[in-house]
Amino acid sequence: MFNSLMTRSVIAKLLLSALFFIMISSAVQAKNLKPFILADAASGDYAKTVTDTKAKLSSAGFEVVGEYSPYKGANIIIVTNDALKKNAKATEFGGYGAVQRVAVTDMAGTIQVTYTNPVYMAAAYRMAGGLDDVASALKGALGKQKDYGSEKGLSKDDLEGYHYMYGMPYFDDPDVVAEHGSYDKAMQKVKAALAAKKGGVSKVYQVDIPGKKQTVIGVAMTQDMSDDTTVMTEVDFKDIRSTAHLPYEMLVHENGKVYALSAKFRIATSFPDLSMAGDHSFMGIMASPDAIKKALSQAAGAKAEKAESTGGFGF
């Protein structure tokens, strides 16, 4: 009898311990952040959904600064507002976080409305503020069904120090795609190169950060392994699309340099669960980091041959 009671007691303690562990794990996971938010997914008219989405964003105080349709059935609306620009001003390289991207994607008649998670971006881009107010504004304008883009997500601390794996770049290891000596000269060179579509790159949007000489410019890429469609075909394959990963951006800094987040960081932050090898993996776009840097170097007014190799995904 005594042994039986002891056995039951041990089993009960083990069950309680297991339950406690599950509860703690669930709580930790609930605090983790994911890169995208699904606002809605329903049958409907694609063009009308795009129009209605823009109207909702404008009504909520967002300024539409650009649109991009990289391929059929995908439309990305780039927005900013005073809160985003104020936070960008307060952050050294805040231009990366000066916009949010909203996507309308037609998946065989189901129209997905999705957007970048401002809180996730604020952590990944080490913004001065957490952008909770922007997240609330987007939720109020478009709705929110769930966060997605990573099974478990990443904590704020992990994002602030994020890199995909050993040897991969961090946020503060960007590519310097051009150097022009001054902000004004850099802007002149970038505008001319984008107008000429150097490197197969064209301008999608531009946001000047108020109160400082810093400009973020979103771009469309169409050439070789930098091509947006080529990259997305490989990495964006799940049922809920991560179309709002695009467009890529360059940052013209007050020091006269033009920066771009390394593709090894920029792509990985949008697709942190992507495997290194196999079908739909980073190995499928092995040549993209170099191709993207080369294309953006040309688009920033530098000579293509000056774009040094960054190495592919991996080592």
Q: Which CATH architecture has domain 36-306?
A: 2-Layer Sandwich (3.30)
Residues facing residue 122 across a β-bridge: none
pLDDT digits (tens, 9 = 90+) for 22-39: 444 444 445 899 999 999
Q: Is the pLDDT of residue 41 over 50?
A: yes
DSSP string for residues in 26-55 = HHHHHH-B-SEEEEEEEE--HHHHHHHHHH
Reported confidence tier of residue 8, pLDDT bands at 50, 70, 90: low
pLDDT digits (tens, 9 = 90+) for 237-289: 999 999 999 999 999 999 999 999 999 999 999 999 999 999 999 999 999 99
The residues spanned by each domain of the chain are 36-306
pLDDT digits (tens, 9 = 90+) for 104-133: 999 999 999 999 999 999 999 999 999 999
Give yes or no for a contact between 174 and 262, defined as CB atoms under 8 angstroms apart.
yes
Burial of 107 (0-12, 13-18, 19+ CB in 10 A): middle
The average confidence (pLDDT) of the chain is 91
Longest dimension (CA), the chain: 88
Kindly report the pTM of this predicted structure: 0.88
The pLDDT score that the predictor gives to residue 7 is 56
Q: Is the pLDDT of residue 65 over 60?
A: yes
CA angle 70/187/170 to nearest 5° reads 65
